[in-house]
A and B are shown apart, each in its own frame.
Chain A
Amino acid sequence: MSLQLRLPASRAFDYLLLVLASLALWAGLAWIAGPDALSGPGETLARAADYLGSAAFWKHARATGTAFGWACLLSLAGGAAIGVLIGMSRLAAEVGEPILGTLYSIPKITLYPIILLVFGLSLSAKVAFGVLHGIFPVALLTIGAIRNTKQVYLKTARVMRLTPVQTASTVLLPAILPELVTGLRIGFSSALLGTLIAELFASEEGLGFMLIRAMEAHKVVDIMALAFLLFAAAAAIGGLLLAIEGRVHRAS
């Protein structure tokens, strides 16, 4: 018990250790690779701070945020809807799950030309690409969650003569909520990846666009600073969702 009480402090210490170790590793690598390949922590963080203070950066960040927000929303809503629809019938799950799994595993980056040809250089191309990445993991997790729902719940729903819609909204959704939060986290990160990749290849604004421009100009410090900011933001939100997830799983 005393161990558990001490845990928060020691966990903070663990995080500190991880951060310090990463910084040391980073500085070491930068020293070995030289300033042409990797910029050191000090320089990079200073540039990242510059970015945070500049209006141009926030304009691009807002563009990415808009695309990502839509992609995330559509992935989650669409994925959960597909998951519930397919998951509620055993046959549909058996048929659909391998297909969705395969769609999830293909290198979707190769589909980017099609997305561009269909949507052109636009916000919808970015959103579509984000959704393409995010929707399958959410659907797969939802199907898995429904399969693992206790049969008793479903039988109870049948005994109470609930309609499929009622079953989904009053029995299934609450039962799979913890897994849905996991889906939220995975869908969030996949959609972010998709949105950024879309911006890397073809776009006129956004953080991915800033990155590719820095790459083309071979500005190592800029690349590193942007990568750092993206990593930090993604890791922070990921960590937050993970904490929520842990709480929901424990509560249920």
Chain B
Amino acid sequence: MSRVRLIQTLLIGGSVALLEILCRAGVIDHFTMIPPSDMLLSLIRIARTESWFWPDVLYTLRNLAVAIVIAVAGGFLIGLGVHAVPRLRRCLDPLFSSYYSVPTFVLYPLLIVIFGIGPASLIVMGALFGVVAMIVATLTALDRIPRALIKTARIMRLDALRGVLMVRLPAAAPHLFTGLKLAVAYCVIGVIAGEFILATAGIGRRLSFSYNNFDNQTMYGVLLLILVFAATLNALLNIWEKRLHQRWYR
């Protein structure tokens, strides 16, 4: 494992270093991309000096948190409901399977018209983007509960509630967590993309704002922040998922 980590670190470090050299040597010109070290310096500078920085970051995080809660809780509940009615599920299956093949972002302007320009549109956008991943994961999770476990629960005469809490939920948990992971990733994309398209505040909006103003320093600082945030979130969820799977499938 440590060897893998070492190679990963070297790979990523090497790519960053290469980028730095290419930028410094002028192969990539300054208007296209600033060197990674300058991105970091720019990020530190805006975090320390700009008054918009923390309000924007908190705005995005708050909307993101609400969107994730709605997508995960809503997706789980809808998944439970749909799974209970096979007929409904058969009707909705084509919808679920083609959901991510349609460009959901084209609905964002409509959301703005309906909910106004503000947190509500962003939250709905993020939640809409994430919820179906959770629904599908919940359906898969419920499908994959081994029949033997359900039969065992019946043999042990567990009542419905205990059957769910002690057998079905733990058995479904790995897939549910995968759904959670996907839903979080989609919510991040939805909220930040919404901000990027049109919003009054938020870190994604700051990115498009600085881009439109040819403010490359700020743009790359903010971009670095978003990328590091998304990558860290993803890495943490992956590590957590791996731990859970190891525990369950020991």
Contact = CB atoms under 8 A, between A and B. Distances in A.
Interface string B9-43: 00110000000000000000001110000000000
Nearest to A231: B102
A75 to B, nearest CB: 14
Contacts of A17: 91
Size bracket, chain B contacts = 35 or more
B160 interface: no
A239 B87 CA distance: 19
Interface in A213-232: 215, 220, 223-224, 226-227, 230-231
Contact of B223 (A110, A186, A197): A110
Contacts, number: 140
Contacts of A234: 98, 101-103
A244 B136 CA distance: 20
A95 B11 CA distance: 9
- The CB with the most chain B CB atoms within 10 A, among A38, A107, A109, A224, is that of A107
B165 interface: no
Given A99-B11, A107-B193, A235 B230 contact: no
Nearest to A108: B189
A242 B95 CA distance: 12
A215 B88 CA distance: 35
Contacts of B12: 99
A18 B91 contact: yes
B188 interface: yes
Interface stretch (A51-59, A145-153, A154-162, A188-196): A188-196
Contacts of A231: 102
Given A17-B91, A113-B207, A235 B231 contact: no
B185 interface: yes
Nearest to B15: A99
A94 B98 CA distance: 30
A112 to B, nearest CB: 8
A20 B227 CA distance: 42
Interface residues of A, number: 53
A37 interface: yes
B109 A14 contact: no
- The CB with the most chain B CB atoms within 10 A, among A108, A192, A231, A237, is that of A231
A181 interface: no
B105 A197 contact: yes
9 contacts: A37-B113, A105-B231, A110-B196, A186-B100, A197-B105, A226-B106, A227-B106, A235-B94, A235-B98
Given A15-B94, A38-B114, A107-B192, 6 more contacts: A95-B7, A106-B226, A107-B189, A109-B196, A193-B103, A239-B97
Kindly list the 10 A-B residue pairs having the minimum CB-CB distance in the complex, ordered from nearest.
Answer: A189-B101, A238-B101, A238-B98, A235-B98, A105-B185, A106-B230, A37-B113, A109-B193, A105-B234, A113-B211
Interface of A: 11, 14-15, 17-18, 21, 33, 36-38, 91, 94-95, 98-99, 101-102, 105-114, 117-118, 185-186, 188-189, 192-193, 196-197, 200, 211, 215, 220, 223-224, 226-227, 230-231, 234-235, 237-239, 242
Interface of B: 3-4, 7-8, 11-12, 31-33, 87, 90-92, 94-95, 97-98, 100-103, 105-107, 109-110, 113-114, 185, 188-189, 192-193, 196-197, 204, 207-208, 211, 219, 223, 226-227, 230-231, 233-235, 238
